[in-house]
C-alpha cells in the first residue's frame, strides 16, 4: 500500500447508551495514530472531523424503535461523502468513531463506486433491526442497515454495495436472539471465538479474507476495540470477556495487510471510550493495530 492515509473523525455517541465514546477520535489521535502510520512507511493526512449534531438539542418526540435515527442519518451522509472523497483522491480512509453506527456511512462511502467485501472484527454482530433490537441503540444495527434488513429496507441512505456473501464476522461472542437467527438465515459467514480457539487465528483469518475478497473491488475492515479481551482493551462501552489476545489481534491485522494489499480499501476504528480507559491504553492499542493493517512489521 503506497497511498496516503486520510484520517476522518466521526465523534458520535448517540448510537450507544454510554456517554464518552464521542471522545474516541481525539483519544486515538492523541495516542499517535499519524505517527504510527508514518512509522509503517505511509504518508498520513488528518482530514479533521465531520460535523455531528448536538443530541441534547434534538427533538425526541417522534423517536420510536431507533434512538437518534435522524442524527445517525445526517452523520452517515457526511461520513459517506468524506470516505468517497478520500477514495476519489486515491487516499486510504480510516474513520475514527465514535460508536459503531458510523460504519453505516463508511460502508456507504467505500462502496459508492465499487462493490466491497467486509471483515467485521467485533464481539457483537451489530445485525439487529429496529424490530429485533432490545435497546434501540443504532450501534447494534449498522450491518442490518447497510444490507437493508427489516425496516431499513426503505432506508436508501444507509445501503451499501455489499453482497451479503462477502460479509464475514470474526470473533463473535455476544449475540441477541434476533441477530443469531438472522445470521443463520443469511448468506454471510460468522466465526465465533470458539472457531478461533478450535482452528487458530491464522486459519480463520485466511479463510475470511478469501470469502470477503471473492469477486469484489476491495475490502473494508471494521474494527471495534471490544473485539479484544477487556484486559487488553478496557476503554470500551460494551466489554465482553473471552476476546482475542493482543498478539492474535496484531497477527490478524498483519495477515490482512499481507494478503489483501492494495485491495484493502477503507477501515473503521470504533468504540474507544477514554472515560472508561486506563491511561489511554485502548486508544494506543487502536493506533498499533491500525499500523499493523497498514503493513508495519517487527522486521
Domains defined for the chain, CATH in brackets? 5-293 (3.40.800.10)
3-state secondary structure 228-293: ECCCCCCCCCCCCCCCECHHHHHHHHHHHHHHHHHHEEEEEEECCCHHHCCCCHHHHHHHHHHHHH
Q: Is the pLDDT of residue 62 over 50?
A: no
pLDDT at 14 over 90: no
Report whether 113 contacts 84 (CB < 8 A). Answer: yes
0.85 surpassed by pTM: yes
Higher pLDDT among residues 159 and 297, named by residue: 159
For 214-230, how does the pLDDT look when each residue is reduced to its tens digit (9 = 90+)?
Answer: 999 999 999 999 999 99
Active site residues: 100, 122, 124, 126, 139, 224, 226, 271
pLDDT band at 3 (very low <50, low <70, confident <90, very high): confident
- Cell numbers 482452528 correspond to what residue? 199
- Give dist(CA 12, CA 52) in Å, integer: 7
Burial of 198 (C-beta count, 10 Å sphere; 0-12/13-18/19+):
exposed
Give the per-residue pLDDT at 61: 41
Query: Hey, what's the cell of 68?
Result: 437518534
User: Is 149 within 8 Å of 122 (Cβ atoms)?
Assistant: no
Backbone angles phi, psi at 204, to 5 degrees: -65, -45
Residue 54's pLDDT is what? 80
Amino acid at each position: 500500500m503506497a497511498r496516503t492515509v486520510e484520517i476522518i473523525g466521526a465523534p458520535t455517541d448517540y448510537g450507544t447508551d454510554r456517554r464518552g465514546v464521542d471522545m474516541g477520535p481525539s483519544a486515538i489521535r492523541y495516542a499517535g495514530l499519524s505517527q504510527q502510520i508514518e512509522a509503517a512507511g505511509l504518508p498520513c493526512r488528518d482530514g479533521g472531523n465531520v460535523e455531528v449534531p448536538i443530541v441534547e438539542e434534538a427533538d425526541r418526540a417522534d423517536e420510536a424503535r431507533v434512538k437518534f435515527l435522524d442524527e445517525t442519518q445526517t452523520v452517515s451522509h457526511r461520513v459517506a461523502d468524506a470516505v468517497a472523497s478520500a477514495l476519489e483522491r486515491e487516499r486510504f480512509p480510516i474513520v475514527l468513531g465514535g460508536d459503531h453506527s458510523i460504519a453505516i456511512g463508511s460502508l456507504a462511502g467505500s462502496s459508492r463506486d465499487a462493490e466491497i467485501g467486509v471483515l467485521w472484527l467485533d464481539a457483537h454482530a451489530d445485525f439487529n433491526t429496529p424490530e429485533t433490537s432490545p435497546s434501540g441503540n443504532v450501534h447494534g444495527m449498522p450491518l442490518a442497515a447497510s444490507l437493508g434488513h427489516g425496516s431499513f429496507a426503505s432506508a436508501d441512505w444507509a445501503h451499501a454495495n455489499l453482497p451479503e456473501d462477502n460479509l464475514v464476522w470474526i470473533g463473535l461472542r455476544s449475540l441477541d436472539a434476533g441477530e443469531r437467527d438472522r445470521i443463520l438465515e443469511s448468506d454471510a459467514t460468522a466465526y465465533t471465538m470458539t472457531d478461533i480457539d478450535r482452528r487458530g487465528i491464522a486459519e480463520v483469518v485466511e479463510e475470511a479474507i478469501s470469502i470477503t475478497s471473492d469477486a469484489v473491488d476491495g475490502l473494508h475492515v471494521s474494527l471495534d476495540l471490544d473485539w479484544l479481551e477487556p484486559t487488553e482493551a478496557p476503554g470500551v462501552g460494551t466489554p465482553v470477556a473471552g476476546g482475542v489476545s493482543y498478539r492474535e489481534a496484531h497477527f490478524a491485522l498483519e495477515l490482512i495487510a499481507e494478503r489483501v494489499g492494495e485491495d484493502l480499501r477503507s477501515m473503521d476504528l470504533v468504540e474507544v471510550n477514554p472515560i472508561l480507559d486506563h491511561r489511554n491504553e485502548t486508544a494506543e492499542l487502536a493506533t498499533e493495530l491500525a499500523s499493523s493493517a497498514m503493513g508495519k512489521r517487527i522486521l
